[in-house]
Amino acid sequence: MSTIFYGALVSPVSLTSYDALPRALLCVSHRTGDIQWIEQDVPAGSLQDVLARHGIIDMSGMELVELRNGEFLIPGFIDTHTHAPQVPNIGSGQEHELLDWLAQTTFPMEAKFADDNFAKKAYGTVVRRIIDSGTTTCCYYGTLHLGATKVLADFVHSAGQRAFVGKCNMDRNSPDYYIESSAATSVEDTKSLISYIRGLTPNSTTALVQPILTPRFAISCTPELLGSLGDVARADPTLTIQTHICENDSEIQFTKNLFPPNILPPGSEAAKKGRTTYAGVYDAYGLLRKNTVLAHAVHLEDEEVEMIKKSNAGISHCPTSNFNLRSGCARVGMLLDEGIKVGLGTDVSGGFSPSILTAVQHASIASKVVAMHHPSSQTSTTTFTSRQLPISALLYLATQGGADVCDLSKRTGSLEPGKAFDALVVSLKSDSGNPNVWGVDWDADLDVSGTNGKTERQSLEAQLERFLFTGDDRNIRRVYVQGRLIGGKEFIPSA
């Protein structure tokens, strides 16, 4: 049994190109939730023949979803960095920089999650909101609490989202009311959470919800704690790791003061060089590797860029937060030119929106700001340093780039046979209720003859751009993960 989608499809190919197929036919297996096959261009008159070629003569037991003009399929968004317990704080504490904001706004809210009942009340709506924003894969930070983070994992698991869920490690430089009692307790709770999450989907290598090691940032961890987390990571190369890096000048200085080279493990590169960098601290404790997600990376030194490149760790670019906390503009174009993996993160509530669409818009603006400040005579269209990011790159960062960063590139991030059907049905029709996107009459916009107006591909490209820059939850009709409908405007959650 399968679901067949017939209509427009958009999917990233690379940073510089994407598929925009006005009349695609895509088949999803009900058994696996994977995409079985895609036909790129099927005129309406050939539909029966093409289905027959795939052995589908009788549509009974099949679901056929026909998309209208102004609607298209797109891979689900991947949020490589967000803080679930900060969603209730969105839009507050907007006048601080990072360290003050943590102390004044963030830690007081996170501390409330000591109460599992508070977590049960908050996290259900948090997860629903993030899914309905079109996020099919999410890297979640919980709080330092084991109980509340289990509650978060439960909600994500039962909602059917693909996700990484981590408990923050923080045994120093945190307020008395919100700190772990020792490195040993922090590690013990982390191991319990890993077992708990792995137990949610027994004996499955394809579990949607996975644990993730989450040393909050170097400042909040003693050397003993980072060392023990490094041991946990070394024992399990499949375990993903997430943390913050080079977000804010004061934070970087504080980190360097806390970790002078003489206290770092003697064999580490930083200890040998006698010079600490932020990335060098994580590297020294074995926390920099191909499945490490590093959020922000606004103020990386050249040496750190090299180190990250060598480790094949990925960067979560969080432009909304970087503007909002006045952290700076990450040089994403340069990172991409270096071949470093980059995805997008909402970083709620440093960022004030749980939608990756907002991150896309701000990633575009951030790249324009970098280009304004570092004008270049570069004319190449395949490099990005000092150039604003094109639509193809923005789409890539929001989808496949995120999958690359999470080490999930074979499973999700684009619409391709053999990958999971993690996808959105987007509608720009007037019945979406979003006046920004239906200011254009998509039917009139289209001229299939190609003599006036736009070709079908051009119209679809225009629709994608409109959606990325002015779309919102109202335009997300359906959200699928692994072939299962889990959200969107049309979704009715079971009671």
Give the rounded distance of the alpha carbon of 127 from its chain centre. Answer: 14
d(CA 328, CA 173): 24
Cα separation, 214 vs 349, in Å, equals: 17
Q: How far is the CB of 138 from ligand GUN (least distance, A)?
A: 15
Q: Which of residues 208-247 bind ligand GUN (CB under 6 A)?
A: 216-217, 244, 247
Closest separation in Å from C-beta 221 to ligand GUN: 11
Residues that bind Zn ion (CB under 5 A): 347
**Interaction pattern, residues 294-333, with ligand GUN; x per rule: CB under 6 A:** ---------------------------x------------
- How many whole angstroms from its chain centre is CA 18? 19
Task: Name which of Zn ion, ligand GUN, none residue 247 binds, using a CB cut-off of 5 to 8 Å depending on partner kind.
Answer: ligand GUN
Residue of 134, 319, 328, 350 that binds ligand GUN (CB under 6 A): 350
Cα dihedral 79, 81, 83, 84 sign: positive
Give the separation between CA 397 and CA 388, rounded to whole angstroms: 14
CB contact set of 105 (below 8 Å; sequence gap of 6+):
89, 92, 93, 96, 349
Among 6, 23, 67, 83, binds ligand GUN (CB under 6 A): 83
Interface residue with ligand GUN among 154, 347, 472, 473 (CB under 6 A) is 347
Question: Closest CB to Zn ion among 251 and 347?
Answer: 347
Query: Site mask, ligand GUN, residues 39-78, x = CB under 6 A?
Result: ----------------------------------------
Stretch that binds ligand GUN, among 59-67, 98-106, 125-133, 222-230 (CB under 6 A): 98-106
Taking the C-alpha atoms of residue 29 and residue 3, their distance in angstroms, rounded to an integer, is 7
Three-class DSSP category at 65? strand
User: From the CB of 350, what's the least distance to Zn ion, in Å?
Assistant: 6
Q: Reduced to 3 states, what is the DSSP secondary structure of residue 149? A: helix
**Residue number of the CB atom closest to ligand GUN:** 350
Contact present, 462 and 72 (Cβ < 8 Å): no
Residue 269 exposed, middle or buried by CB count within 10 Å (0-12, 13-18, 19+): middle
CA–CA separation, 197 and 151 (whole Å): 10
The verdict on 167 binding ligand GUN (CB under 6 A) reads no
Q: Which residues of the shown chain bind ligand GUN in the complex (CB under 6 A)?
A: 83, 98, 102, 106, 216-217, 244, 247, 321, 347, 350
